[in-house]
């Protein structure tokens, strides 16, 4: 299976290991990630303004590029996934936006129309729905037995649930199922879908630290030794606060380790 | 050519404020057939009606057009006036220039033009009106009440006291409904059982009332005054006549692990059981899915211990067909499922319960004997937190947009019941708004806050976390505009209520309409609140909309009064605006039969005389008593054979022509 792959800026800079391990694991698991050509930054935040289309165009271009190839588009970064998925839904549901965007694209050098046809998948969804966690477990060479891993979902993968359609926003299980598949023990803790503070860490450091601290305390109290996440921003906030007592790593690192292909 | 009079109503300024009434009068005068036109500030008043009556006589009118409000409002009024003047009442047409015109437009010139168009259409129609005469049909002097909660019981008692026979069909083994599960009732805090059980006994003992418990309505045929209903008496596996209600069977039953429906699953019951001690009738049923005799063939202990030999494992469902003049829906409610409300941890934490579960927990006859304990560790809680509007006033897809109405009051009641028993327990209530209109209601809520020290927090709860020895609540305090966290030992969810699921299928059988929330629709939301738009079907209790016990009892009495008003009549006059087939055009294709929602159309082989050719043809027949005049058949008929009297194809065409002129 070949997927269009939208890495996003952070995976090219601060979160290289999220990207690198994901590509390696894809190979090992028998699917290919084909990077979208000339992709642009998704904007990192889903634009709430309704009178401006420019902020949604990069997502539309990537979505169209994948759709033109007849491929689903796969993302890793929670923020990119969130933006792509929601813009795609907007292109399906919001007639006004669709008209404006398509009118704009009609003026470009290679015009096309886009109506939200693309299928947006998160890497974890590929593991769950395409590869299958049972198949994944069968390919694990180096089970992480005895490791107590807390899944940290954050908010962007789950909400708004009607659009993201990722998992139950209150009691998600996809990360826990993943942790089981790689042979480790999932630690379920109630704060696993709370917000880490997101970009508030730029403006109000203390507030972000307090929010991240609560998540870490909760995970520690339930016995977690390490947290996994798909989100570079979550990792940044968590690491800043509790990097020493409770490290946070990208889920793809553990995946690579379990598959026995992690490069040191 | 008719001699038509046009009467234009000002409706105070309701119409005259937006429509130039004088111009309508002037413009109507030259219309074909119009011999008289007049205006009046309130045409529906006695003076206005007399004006019509006098004009009919003076100008020898044969048709009347009233330009006024919707026909749903005053058509009957003006038809009666016409009848007084000696006209056939069906020679009156209404041009609705209020709801369809003045109320929805602002520009006077445009509104006047539209009112004129509507008036011309009505004039064109009345040109083609012909006198219609209603048929008479008999009235079966017995009523059916579907649902045996407080609504159904009260309706049945009131009808029975007036001297008419009533049957109650109740799906569970006992009458009593939700009220039987409650502990105390607001605002007087008298015990629910103390005021309900005497009524249950009255209903059971009343010579005019027959109870069909553990039964359901399978089929409804017929129409107002003459319903035929098939009732399925589900197999109790216990002989009703022989059972003395001694309870030995339930005591000896070895299969005691089924969750008790009456106690909301907080404890278990035997496979042979009565739902509660004061059940009426006091005759148990066997839950065949739990019974060892039915599951494995072995056991039969109940049969052995039953002295009067009432156990009957071979009993089968019994179908009873009964005739009724009127049917009352009193099917009640259920709390909504909390599957989609994961943030409250209801499924994962035993210490998060619903309000109805709390009623059982605080009830002296409940599973804990009324002692308030956490279900997880049987510990007495130090703090209890109530969350209101769980699923109510929630416009997202998972919730109900409406207010469930009873929760503010019962939550205040719960808080007080706790404080009465355990003054040391801290009680918090999260609310969006406290809504306590009703006699002595606001005073009741204030007592909870002022006298009992219940802490009311305006804000919604985002998450309930079970930390084992306590629960943690994340919420927003909207008055402080701050996120807050609260530790508590028990959470009680004031869950939204919705109509029982079966109400929908029963409503379909009765061809009675329901709204988007599955509540029964009233014939008029203000003026006919206890009648369904379907003649002969009446509404009692929460099936029509959320309401508390006092309101339910009041509505139950109102529904009974309407039923009595129907049953005292010996004959009913039917609406003559029914479908009528032309046998010469009918080709017997069955299309109309398929679209008729009332089952009013059948086919007969009739001898017809088609321009001198006599032959037998299969042609449509309309049962005028069943036909509601909806017109579905008339528009479907491919050969134009079906016509609706009073709304004939020619009349509609004339209206359209007048509008497009």
- Give the DSSP letter string of B470-530: SEEEEEEETTTTEEEEEEESEEEEEE-EEE-THHHHHHHHTT--B-TTSPBPPSBTTTBTT
DSSP A81-131: HHHHHHHHHHHHH-HHHHHHHHHHHTTSSS-----S---EEEHHHIIIIII
Same domain, A112 and A202: no
Percentage of chain A modeled with pLDDT above 90: 92
- Give chain A's length: 264
Q: Are residues A220 and A250 in the same domain?
A: yes
Could you tell me the CA-to-CA distances from B440 to A3, B186, B189, B409 in Å, in that order? 66, 9, 12, 11
- pLDDT computed for residue A242 by the predictor: 85
Q: Is the pLDDT of residue B130 over 70?
A: yes
How much is the pLDDT for B222? 87
Q: What gap in Å lies between CA B600 and CA B579, rounded to an integer?
A: 9
Cβ–Cβ contact B343 with A under 8 A:
yes
- For B158, list phi and psi in degrees, rounded to 5: -65, -40
pLDDT, tens digit (0-9, with 9 covering 90-100), for B321-365: 999 999 999 999 999 999 999 999 999 999 999 999 999 999 999
- pLDDT value of position A204: 93
Distance from CA of A59 to the nearest CA of B (A): 27
The alpha-carbon gap from A170 to the nearest alpha carbon of chain B, in Å, equals 5
Q: Indicate where chain B has its CATH 3.50.50.60 domain(s).
A: 142-234+317-332+500-567, 335-498
Q: How far is A236 from chain B (nearest CA, A)?
A: 24
pLDDT at residue B624, rounded to an integer: 85
| Residue A24 within any structural domain of the chain | yes
pLDDT tens digit sequence for B539-572: 999 999 999 999 999 999 999 999 999 999 999 9
Q: Kind and range of the H or E element at B216?
A: strand B215-223
Phi, then psi, of A116 in degrees rounded to 5: 80, 30
Residue with the two structure tokens 């919730």: B399
Which overall architecture, per CATH, does domain B579-645 show?
Answer: 2-Layer Sandwich (3.30)
Residue with tokens 């210490």: B351
Opening angle at CA B235, ends B232 and B239, nearest 5: 120
CATH 3.40.50 fits B4-127, yes or no: yes
pLDDT at A263 over 80: no
A chain contacts of residue B466, beta-carbon cutoff 8 Å: 190
Q: Which residues of chain A have a CB within 8 Å of the CB of B341?
A: 170
Residue position matching structure tokens 């109510």: B392
**Mapping DSSP to helix (H, G, I), strand (E, B) and coil, where does residue B199 land?**
helix
Residue B211's CB is within 10 A of a number of other CB atoms, namely 22
Whether chain A has a CB inside 8 Å of the CB on B466: the answer is yes
Tokens of B396: 């997202």
Nearest-CA residue of chain B relative to A190?
B465
The verdict on a CB contact (< 8 Å) between A171 and B466 is no
- pLDDT, tens only, A1-57: 999 999 999 999 999 999 999 999 999 999 999 999 999 999 889 988 888 899 999
Q: Given CB atoms, is A169 within the 8 Å cutoff of chain B?
A: yes
Q: Chain-wide mean pLDDT for chain B?
A: 95
In this predicted structure, what is the pLDDT of residue B533? 86
Q: In terms of domains, do A175 and A66 share one?
A: no
| Closest A-chain CA to B341 | A170
Q: How many CB pairs under 8 A join A and B?
A: 15
CA distances from B499 to B179, B402, B442, B517, B541 (A): 15, 12, 27, 8, 10
**CATH code of the region B335-498:** 3.50.50.60
Our CA-based measurement puts residue B504 at a distance from the nearest CA of chain A, in whole angstroms, of: 27
The secondary structure of B571-640 as a DSSP string is EEEPPS--EEE-TTT-----HHHHH-TT--EEEEEEEEEETTEEEEEEEEEE-TTT-----HHHHH-TTS
Are the C-beta atoms of B3 and B62 separated by less than 8 Å?
A: yes
Helix H segments across chain A? Answer: 16-29, 57-68, 78-93, 95-105, 123-125, 133-139, 161-164, 174-181, 200-203, 205-221, 232-242, 251-259
Same-domain pairing of A73 and A173: no
| DSSP code of residue B372 | -
Query: Do B466 and A190 count as a contact with CB atoms less than 8 A apart?
Result: yes
Q: Distance between CA A183 and CA A185 in Å, rounded?
A: 7
Question: 């008729």: which residue's tokens?
Answer: B596
- From chain A, the residues in CB contact with B472 under 8 A are 190
> How many domains is chain A built from?
2
What mean pLDDT is predicted for residues B429-452? Answer: 97
Span of A259-263, B119-123, B417-421 with lowest mean pLDDT: A259-263
* Chain position carrying tokens 């010469």: B584
Is residue A95 in a domain? Answer: yes
List of chain A residues whose C-beta atoms are within 8 Å of the C-beta of residue B348 = 171
Neighbours of A190 (CB within 10 A): 22
For residue A162, which residues of chain B lie inside 8 Å, CB to CB?
Answer: 397
Residue with tokens 């999220």: A18
Instruction: Tell me the residue length of chain B.
Output: 661
Q: What is the pLDDT of residue B411?
A: 98
Radius of gyration for chain B, computed over Cα atoms and rounded to the nearest angstrom: 31
pTM for this prediction: 0.83
Strand partners, B643: B580
- Relative to beta strand B352-354, strand B383-390 is unpaired
A147 and A118 in a common domain = no
B343/A168 Cβ within 8 A: no
Task: Tell me the angle at which helices B21-28 and B108-127 cross, rounded to the nearest 10 degrees.
Answer: 40
Instruction: For residue A117, count CB atoms less than 10 angstroms from its CB and return exposed for 0-12, middle for 13-18, buried for 19 or more.
Output: middle
CA distance A222 to chain B (A): 9
On whether the CB atoms of residues B614 and B597 are closer than 8 A, the answer is: no
Query: Which of residues A122, A149, A180 is at a domain's end?
Result: A122
Are A162 and B466 within 8 A, CB to CB? no
Per residue in B131-171, pLDDT tens? 999 988 899 999 999 999 999 999 999 999 999 999 999 99
CB contacts, 8 Å: A190 with chain B: 463, 465-467, 472
Would you state the pLDDT for residue A126? 97
Q: Categorize the per-residue pLDDT at A264 as very low, low, confident or very high, splitting at 50, 70 and 90.
A: low
Here the tokens at position B551 are 């309101």
Q: Are residues A157 and A61 both part of a single domain?
A: no
Query: Residue A171 is nearest to which of B342, B397, B472, comparing CB atoms?
Result: B342
Domain match, A94 and A171 both: no
Distance from CA of B473 to the nearest CA of A (A): 11
**B296 Cβ under 8 Å from any chain A Cβ:** no
From the CA of A223, how many Å to the nearest CA of chain B? 13
| For range B69-90, the mean pLDDT | 94
Distance from CA of B255 to the nearest CA of A (A): 35
pLDDT given at position B432: 96
Beta-carbon separation of A190 and B343 below 8 A: no
Using a CB-CB cut-off of 8 Å, the residues of chain B touching A171 are 342, 348
Residues of A in contact with B397 (CB under 8 A): 162
Range of the domain at A247: 137-259
Tell whether A204 is within 8 A of chain B (Cβ). no
Residues A161 and A90 in one domain: no
Q: Based on the fold, state whether residues A67 and A24 are members of the same structural domain.
A: yes
Decide if B348 touches A, using CB distance below 8 A. yes
CB proximity B462 to A under 8 Å? no
Q: Which CATH number fits domain B142-234+317-332+500-567: 3.50.50.60, 3.90.1300.10, 3.40.50.2300, 1.10.150.20?
A: 3.50.50.60
**Are A103 and A149 part of one and the same domain?**
no
Would you tell me how many other CB atoms lie within 10 Å of the CB of residue B350? 14
Q: Is pLDDT above 70 for B660?
A: yes
Task: Determine whether the interchain pair A190/B465 forms a contact, defined as Cβ–Cβ distance below 8 Å.
Answer: yes
The answer to whether residue A128 sits within a structural domain is no
Alpha-carbon gap, residue A18 to A12, rounded angstroms: 9
Residue of A nearest to B471 (CA): A190
CATH code for the domain in which residue A158 is found? 3.40.50.11810
Q: Which of B463, B473, B483, B491 should be substituted to probe chain A, the one whose Cβ sees the most A Cβ atoms within 10 Å?
A: B463
Place of tokens 């993943």: A178
Which residue of chain A has the CA closest to B348? A171
B343: nearest CB among A162, A170, A191: A170
Task: Mark whether A95 and A201 lie in a shared domain.
Answer: no
Both A169 and A107 in one domain: the answer is no
CB proximity A168 to B under 8 Å: yes
Question: At A39, which CATH number?
Answer: 1.20.1050.140
Looking at the DSSP bridge assignments, the partners of residue B484 are B475
Q: In degrees rounded to 5, what are phi and psi of residue B18? A: -120, -20
B303 interfacial to chain A (CB closer than 8 Å): no
On whether residue A242 sits in a domain, the answer given is yes
Tens of pLDDT, residues B191-233 = 999 999 999 999 999 999 999 999 999 999 888 999 999 999 9
The ipTM (two decimal places) reads 0.82
Print burial letters for B295-328: b (CB count within 10 Å at least 16), e (below 16). Answer: eeeebebbbeebeeebbbbebeeeeeebebbbbb
Among residues B409, B423, B383, the alpha carbon closest in space to that of B494 is found at: B409
Q: Does A213 touch chain B (CB under 8 A)?
A: no
pLDDT digits (tens, 9 = 90+) for B469-479: 999 999 999 99
Tell me if B342 and A168 make a contact (CB, 8 A cut-off). Answer: yes
Contact flag B342-A170 (C-beta cutoff 8 Å): yes
Residue A127 lies in a domain: no
Q: Which helix (H) or strand (E) holds A264?
A: none
């Amino acid at each position: 299976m070949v997927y269009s792959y939208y890495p996003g800026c952070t995976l090219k800079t601060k979160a290289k290991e999220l990207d690198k391990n994901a590509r390696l694991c894809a190979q090992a698991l028998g699917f290919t990630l084909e990077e979208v050509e000339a992709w642009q930054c998704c904007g990192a935040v889903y634009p709430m303004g309704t009178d401006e289309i420019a902020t949604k165009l990069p997502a539309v271009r990537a979505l169209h590029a994948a759709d033109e190839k007849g491929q689903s588009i796969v993302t890793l970064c929670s923020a990119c996934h969130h933006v792509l998925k929601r813009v795609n839904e907007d292109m399906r549901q919001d007639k006004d936006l669709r008209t404006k965007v398509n009118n704009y694209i009609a003026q470009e050098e290679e015009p096309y129309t886009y109506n939200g046809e693309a299928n947006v998948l998160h890497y974890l969804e590929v593991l769950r729905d395409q590869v299958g966690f049972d198949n994944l477990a069968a390919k694990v060479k180096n089970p992480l037995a005895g490791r107590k891993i807390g899944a940290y979902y954050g908010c962007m993968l789950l909400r708004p649930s009607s659009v993201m359609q990722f998992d139950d926003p209150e009691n998600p299980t996809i990360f826990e199922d993943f942790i089981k598949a790689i042979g480790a023990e999932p630690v379920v803790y109630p704060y696993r879908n709370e917000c880490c503070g997101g970009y508030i860490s730029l403006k109000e450091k203390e507030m972000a630290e307090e929010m991240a601290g609560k998540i870490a305390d909760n995970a520690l109290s339930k016995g977690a030794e390490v947290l996994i996440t798909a989100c570079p921003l979550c990792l940044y906030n968590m690491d800043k606060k509790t990097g020493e007592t409770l490290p946070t790593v990208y889920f793809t690192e553990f995946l690579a380790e379990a598959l026995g292909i992690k490069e040191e | 050519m008719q001699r038509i009079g046009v009467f234009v109503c000002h409706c105070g300024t309701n119409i005259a404020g937006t429509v130039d009434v004088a111009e309508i009068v002037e413009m109507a005068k030259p219309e074909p057939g119009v011999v008289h036109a007049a205006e009046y500030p309130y045409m529906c008043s006695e003076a206005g009606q007399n004006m019509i009556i006098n004009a009919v006589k003076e100008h020898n009118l044969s048709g009347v057009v009233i330009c006024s409000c919707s026909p749903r409002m005053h058509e009957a009024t003006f038809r009666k006036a016409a009848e007084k003047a000696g006209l056939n009442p069906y020679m009156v047409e209404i041009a609705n220039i209020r709801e369809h015109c003045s109320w929805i437009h602002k520009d006077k010139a445009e509104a006047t033009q539209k009112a004129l168009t509507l008036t011309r259409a009505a004039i064109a129609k009345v040109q083609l009106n012909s006198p219609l005469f209603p048929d008479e049909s008999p009235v079966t002097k017995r009523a059916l009440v579907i649902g045996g909660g407080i609504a159904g019981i009260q309706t049945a008692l009131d009808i029975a006291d007036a001297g008419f026979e009533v049957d109650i069909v109740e799906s569970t083994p006992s009458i009593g409904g939700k009220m039987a599960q409650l502990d105390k009732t607001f605002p007087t805090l008298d015990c629910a059982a103390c005021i309900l059980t005497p009524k249950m006994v009255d209903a059971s003992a009343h010579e005019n009332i027959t109870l069909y418990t553990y039964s359901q309505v399978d089929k409804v045929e017929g129409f107002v005054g003459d319903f035929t209903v098939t009732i399925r008496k589900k197999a109790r596996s216990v002989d009703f006549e022989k059972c003395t209600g001694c309870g030995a069977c339930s005591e000896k039953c070895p299969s005691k692990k089924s969750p008790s429906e009456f106690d909301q699953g907080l404890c278990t019951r035997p496979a042979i059981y009565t739902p509660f001690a004061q059940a009426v009738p006091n005759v148990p049923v066997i839950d065949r899915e739990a019974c060892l005799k039915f599951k494995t063939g072995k056991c039969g202990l109940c049969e052995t211990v039953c002295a009067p030999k009432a156990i009957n494992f071979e009993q089968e469902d019994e179908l009873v067909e009964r005739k009724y003049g009127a049917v009352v829906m009193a099917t009640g409610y259920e709390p909504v499922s909390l599957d989609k409300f994961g943030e409250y941890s209801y499924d994962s934490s035993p210490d998060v319960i619903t309000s109805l579960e709390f009623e059982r927990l605080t009830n002296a006859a409940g599973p804990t004997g009324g002692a308030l304990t956490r279900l997880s560790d049987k510990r007495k809680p130090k703090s209890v937190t109530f969350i209101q509007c769980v699923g109510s006033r929630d416009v997202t897809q998972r919730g109900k947009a409406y207010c469930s109405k009873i929760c503010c009051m019962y939550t205040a009641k719960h808080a007080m019941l706790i404080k009465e028993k355990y003054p040391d327990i801290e009680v918090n209530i999260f609310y969006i708004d406290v809504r306590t209109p009703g006699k002595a209601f606001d005073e009741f809520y204030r007592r909870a806050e002022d006298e009992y020290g219940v802490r009311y927090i305006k804000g919604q709860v985002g998450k309930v976390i079970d930390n084992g020895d306590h629960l943690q609540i994340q919420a927003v305090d909207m008055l402080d505009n701050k996120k807050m966290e609260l530790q508590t030992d028990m959470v009680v969810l004031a869950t939204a209520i919705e109509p029982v699921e079966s109400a929908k299928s029963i409503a379909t059988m009765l061809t009675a309409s329901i709204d988007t929330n599955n509540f029964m629709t009233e014939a008029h939301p203000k003026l006919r609140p206890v009648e369904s738009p379907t003649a002969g079907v009446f509404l009692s209790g929460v099936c029509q909309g959320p309401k508390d016990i006092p309101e339910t009892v009041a509505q139950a009495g109102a529904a009974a009064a309407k039923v009595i008003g129907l049953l005292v009549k010996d004959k009913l006059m039917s609406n003559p605006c029914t479908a009528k087939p032309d046998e010469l055009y009918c080709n017997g294709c069955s299309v109309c039969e398929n679209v008729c929602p009332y089952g009013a159309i059948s086919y007969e082989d009739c001898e017809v005389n088609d321009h001198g050719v006599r032959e037998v043809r299969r042609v449509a027949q309309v049962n005028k008593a069943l036909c509601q005049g909806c017109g579905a058949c008339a528009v479907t008929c491919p050969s134009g054979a079906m016509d609706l009297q009073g709304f004939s194809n020619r009349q509609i065409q004339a209206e359209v022509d007048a509008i497009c002129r």
